[in-house]
Chain A
Amino acid sequence: MSARDVFRKIIGIELDENSPFGYPARQRTLDVSHNVILYLDDITVSFDGFKALNKLNLMIDAGELRCIIGPNGAGKTTMMDVITGKTRPDSGSAFFGQTIDLTQLSEPQIAHAGIGRKFQKPTIFEQHSVFENLELAMTTDKRALTTLTAWLRDDDRDRIADTLRLIRLDGEADRPAGLLSHGQKQWLEIGMLLMQEPKLLLLDEPVAGMTDDETMRTAELFVSLAGKHSLVVVEHDMAFVKALGGKVTVLHEGSVLAEGDLDAVQNDQRVIEVYLGR
């Protein structure tokens, strides 16, 4: 046993083989041989006895664009918390591809495995410039010691410039992100997500606060991302969900109530009751 192994045993953390202080980019390979990128199996999460998720089952195909809808408090955000390691489930399992057990990984490890997340309330670095926000998100070696001497190569700058154009913030690159409008902040956060090059994108209410025009552009962007990426989109805006056109899952009281295309779901008697009964 090497000194390194002993150290690891004593302090009980996983250090990377190559060097200490964090995680190198992409250490875990994603296995989607069964064409499924995310499995949630019987996930239960309770807060002081209240079950925010109750035996939730969900399966997302590789390349799929899935919409999750459901009334307030249905557990949509909690589900994303479980997938990204913020909340540990009381029971059940969560797998990314065939092999990666999400319940065993920390938030940064999950990010490196290839899951990116956009928060319900736009969360960006307000004091940093728009450019720096994208720079920080960009896939690269993110260990603490390497960031000391990290520098931007020309192709890194090109990538950031491309993303700036895509999210239509190329005129705002040097402004502090805190000065952006709400809709622009949403776009910036989406841009940060793209810089991370995740395999699976979790988007919690991405078009809240956007104009109709911005909403439709976002829908176009997401549709164009599907296939190469897998997307899970939580949204209340039905026009947006319709524009995305994917399969829809209805969450209610912490479990799946209905699943199918939007028309079928909207005509489902139980779904109507849940939404009208409130």
Chain B
Amino acid sequence: MREPLIFRMLSALDARARLGVAAFLAVALGLVPVLHLALPPESAFHVSTYAITLLGKIMCYAIVALAMDLIWGYGGILSLGHGIFFALGGYAFGMYLMRQIGRDGSYQSDLPDFMVFLDWKKLPWYWTGSDSFLWVALLVVVVPALVAFVFGYFAFRSRIKGVYFSIITQALTYAAMLLFFRNETGFGGNNGFTDFKRVLGYSITSSETRLVLFGVTAGVLALTFVFARWLVASKFGRVLTAIRDAESRVMFIGYDPLWFKLFIWTLSAVLCGIAGALYVPQVGIINPSEMSVANSIEIAIWVAVGGRGTLIGPIVGAFVVNLAKSWFTVSFPEYWLFFLGLLFIVVTLLLPQGLVGLWHTLRRAKGART
């Protein structure tokens, strides 16, 4: 009958995309570790720990950008609150990292430091199982999925659309941020989680652990890309873009947009949760500012800059914007927000298809000349 799903997923990629994914994996899993471990720090080709952490972090953002492109670029649903799902995944995994500190915290207690500080005697009930990697890995997926499903169900069923939906997502994230700021919530208040020591028993700061985290993130990014390509090429993807372009037409030919939106929305949230879980051990901190309004808006900007509805564009956008950001925050920290605003305006006015659109235009122009 039909080939297994994984082959069908790969066959949704054209030869160029397959080559691109293979090259990306070769660099991330082969070249980078070699250049990091084998070359002395003085060498011009040495990849520094700083670079690995930065690129690992940006790959997490690229996964978020892909997730955003699925709902915004293909589903036409602009979320300005995707930070909440990223943060939920991050906090869920952060619980495990906090437990892995064991008695090596400043109070040498079994409990995380912030709980000792609050004079708590035992773990709150929702920390049950946080010692177990598998349980927490489950939470990373299930918690964002559940929040997204319940929120999405009521929003889409009430046919809330467009800017109204965007505003509500922002309110949701903002409310969550306020909740996580409270010490009593049990997630470390405004300091969040930090000072991690170990993951799966291995030192979190060792080169090997960093490289493994980096490699896993690269793998998840590649897998997400292949999966997303397959999804948008499936009939589901065609219905999704049809809903984006003419929702009432879709309803009158017998598809219920609710379930299509809810599926892609929940999937997108899960991808963000996974990205958040990969982000926390690499960056070493998670706090409520991940749920700030500005953070969620930035996600939309990465996608717009790269080119929405292209999948590759948002990845490019996440890299370009975040590399620029890390350069700015070192050189001209006070100008970053101005630059970001300017970038957004330029892209919206001049490059509606983003960098990917610009690339296609240039190639066409070149083709026409030769």
Contact = CB atoms under 8 A, between A and B. Distances in A.
B348 interface: no
Given A119-B249, A149-B234, 16 more contacts: A13-B157, A22-B255, A23-B254, A84-B252, A106-B251, A108-B252, A111-B251, A124-B246, A125-B241, A125-B245, A136-B255, A142-B253, A144-B262, A147-B234, A147-B255, A150-B234
Nearest to B243: A125
A136 B242 CA distance: 9
B239 interface: yes
Closest 6 A/B residue pairs (Cβ) = A111-B254, A144-B259, A107-B251, A21-B259, A150-B235, A147-B236
Given A144-B236, A147-B235, A126 B245 contact: yes
B260 interface: yes
A117 B259 contact: no
Interface residues on A, range: 35 or more
Contacts of B249: 119, 123-125
A108 B242 contact: no
A108 B251 contact: yes
Contacts of B262: 144
Interface of B: 2, 5, 153, 157, 231, 234-236, 238-239, 241-242, 245-246, 248-256, 259-260, 262-263
Contact of B2 (A84, A126, A151): A151
Nearest to A195: B253
A117 B252 contact: yes
A182 interface: no
B157 to A, nearest CB: 8
Interface string A132-163: 10011101001111011111000000000000
B227 to A, nearest CB: 11
Interface in A93-148: 106-108, 111-112, 116-117, 119, 123-128, 132, 135-137, 139, 142-145, 147-148
A66 B127 CA distance: 67
B239 A147 contact: yes
8 contacts: A84-B252, A111-B251, A124-B249, A125-B242, A127-B241, A143-B259, A145-B263, A192-B253
Interface string A20-64: 111101000000000000000000000000000000000000000
A112 B263 CA distance: 21
A22 B238 contact: no
A108 B255 contact: yes
B56 to A, nearest CB: 31
Given A147-B234, A148-B236, A149-B234, A128 B251 contact: no
Given A126-B245, A127-B245, A145-B263, A136 B252 contact: no
A22 B261 CA distance: 12
A116 B254 CA distance: 9
A123 B253 contact: no
Contacts of A124: 246, 249
Contact of B246 (A107, A123, A196): A123
B1 to A, nearest CB: 10
B285 to A, nearest CB: 37
A228 interface: no
Contact of B238 (A11, A128, A149): A128
Contacts of B253: 111, 116, 136-137, 142, 192, 196
Contacts of A147: 234-236, 239, 255, 260
A137 B341 CA distance: 42
Nearest to A132: B238
Given A86-B248, A123-B246, A108 B234 contact: no
Given A136-B238, A136-B242, A148-B234, A116 B252 contact: yes
Given A128-B238, A148-B234, A149-B234, A23 B246 contact: no
Contacts of A13: 157
B325 to A, nearest CB: 33
A128 B241 CA distance: 9
Contacts of B241: 125, 127-128
A263 to B, nearest CB: 34
A159 B252 CA distance: 20
Contacts of A192: 253
